[in-house]
């Protein structure tokens, strides 16, 4: 995976079920999400329909980790969203946000773990 100096932060997600990203598929077919985890990468293939939001399962991800990732589209190119091709999010279990407990129904909640549009 190519180097990234800045990541578009999608915030915090519940570490269960299926996540729907705000990224719209430009074409129908198979996409690949490449997550960085410690010193390795985790690839996850997803199938999307043109015009729909990209969705992926968190079942293979650690339940408490800040992931950086890129998405490869059906043509083998990196997906660009809001001018970025490098993304980050944090999985969190049992995180309390105000009076609510984060669940899979509360996507993209700010965890307070890093600043918006986190840069490395």
The pLDDT of 51-70, averaged and rounded, is: 89
- Between 112 and 33, residue with greater pLDDT: 33
Q: Could you tell me if residue 107 is inside a domain?
A: no
Q: What is the pLDDT of residues 14-53, one digit of tens each?
A: 777 778 899 999 999 999 999 998 889 999 999 999 999 9
In a domain, 3, yes or no: no
* Structural domains in the chain (count): 1
Calpha distance 18→58 (Å, rounded): 6
What's residue 2's pLDDT? Answer: 59
Look up the pTM and report it.
0.76
CATH (domain of 17): 2.60.40
Sign of CA dihedral 101, 102, 104, 105: positive
- The average pLDDT across 93-120 equals 45
**Residues 114, 13 contacting (CB under 8 angstroms):** no
Query: Per the domain annotation, does 118 fall within a domain?
Result: no
Give every CB contact of residue 59 below 8 A, 6+ residues apart in sequence.
16
Among candidate residues 61, 62, 63, 13, the one with its CA nearest the CA of residue 33: 61
Q: Which domain holds residue 79?
A: 8-101
Q: Kind of pairing, strands 18-24 and 29-37?
A: unpaired
35 part of a folded domain:
yes
Residue 39 within a domain: yes
Residue 111 lies in a domain: no
Does 65 fall in a domain?
yes
Do residues 91 and 63 make contact, with C-beta atoms less than 8 angstroms apart? yes
């Amino acid at each position: 995976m190519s180097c990234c100096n800045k990541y578009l932060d999608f915030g915090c997600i519940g570490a269960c079920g299926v996540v729907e990203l705000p990224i719209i598929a430009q074409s129908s077919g198979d996409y690949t999400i490449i997550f960085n985890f410690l010193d390795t990468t985790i690839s996850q293939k997803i199938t999307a329909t043109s015009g729909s939001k990209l969705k992926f399962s968190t079942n293979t991800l650690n339940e408490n980790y800040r992931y950086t990732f890129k998405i490869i589209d059906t043509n083998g190119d990196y997906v660009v969203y809001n001018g970025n091709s490098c993304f980050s999010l944090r999985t969190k279990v049992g995180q309390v946000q105000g009076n609510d407990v984060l669940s899979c129904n509360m996507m993209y909640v700010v965890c307070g773990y890093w600043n918006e549009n986190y840069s490395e």
